[in-house]
Structure 1
Amino acid sequence: MPGFKDDILKVARGLGIPTGQFDAVSIHAWPPIMKRIEASFIMKTDSNTRFNWWWESFKGKRVSIFFENGRAFEQLSQLIEADEVVWFIGCDTARDPSKYWLFQGAVKAIQQVIGEFYAFEYYVVSKKYDWLLSVTDHDELIGLGSMTARMERLN
């Protein structure tokens, strides 16, 4: 039975998005990337190795904007350079909220994929680990790191 990762990749390919614009990160590459993201942006309070509900434990200053229409993803291209390749982390909110899947891609491709799904939690992270964007399943767009200044201009 296909899972969340397969569903996302199927949608991306169905939209004609090439692998150079959006693809999954290999199972061998993702653990150190996820750990570095967690170390950069998440306050760890116990030894739980799951990557769920990060937005409840963010480090440092944050800027939040609520989007009652569930369309926060439409703002991503206002915040991220079009040619920047970023990490995209999707949470399998409906089936197993402890499962996170790591992809990489350009913002336009990521927006196209997100637009085909409904109400799931995801994160977009700079490959330099200097900012993180989160969209919660509560329609809140949260920015951390150097993204806070860009978010304040949107508000």
Structure 2
Amino acid sequence: MTSFTPTAPAAPVQGWFSRSEAWLDSKGKGAWIAAMVLGFVFFWPVGLALLFYMIWSKRMFSKSSCRHRKSWARHGYSAMKPSGNSAFDAYKADTLHRLEQEQHDFEAFLQRLREAKDKAEFDEFMNERARAAASEDPEDGGEDQGEPKRH
């Protein structure tokens, strides 16, 4: 009789690329940039390939580092879910409404500020234009002093 001993399923074998990518992700965006620079120094097509890969996978322009990207996304979505506590949810809704109102009031304030600045600049332009027109006019009411009057 043969005995059967269950074994854990074999872990999928990762290729060198997947392992390298995971290692660079664990070190952060600086490791990706260092690898790209070293690629350019030693063999420029490798550096170019890394640059294209970083742009294509959006590693280059992400706001947070590579290793924290998923945790930030998880926390961002949880803010919109109800917590299950009605008092806290009411407080959160009230606070969000207050913040939205403050943002609206601030945007209105900025708009009034821009309009006042535009009006001041326009008034200054009109005053300069009026001064320039007044300095160009002859002092005697529009008649030339060099020519005699003809009747």
Larger radius of gyration: 2
**TM-score where L is the length of structure 1:** 0.17
More strand by share: 1
**TM-score where L is the length of structure 2:** 0.17
RCO higher in 1 or 2 (8 Å CA, sep ≥ 6)?
A: 1
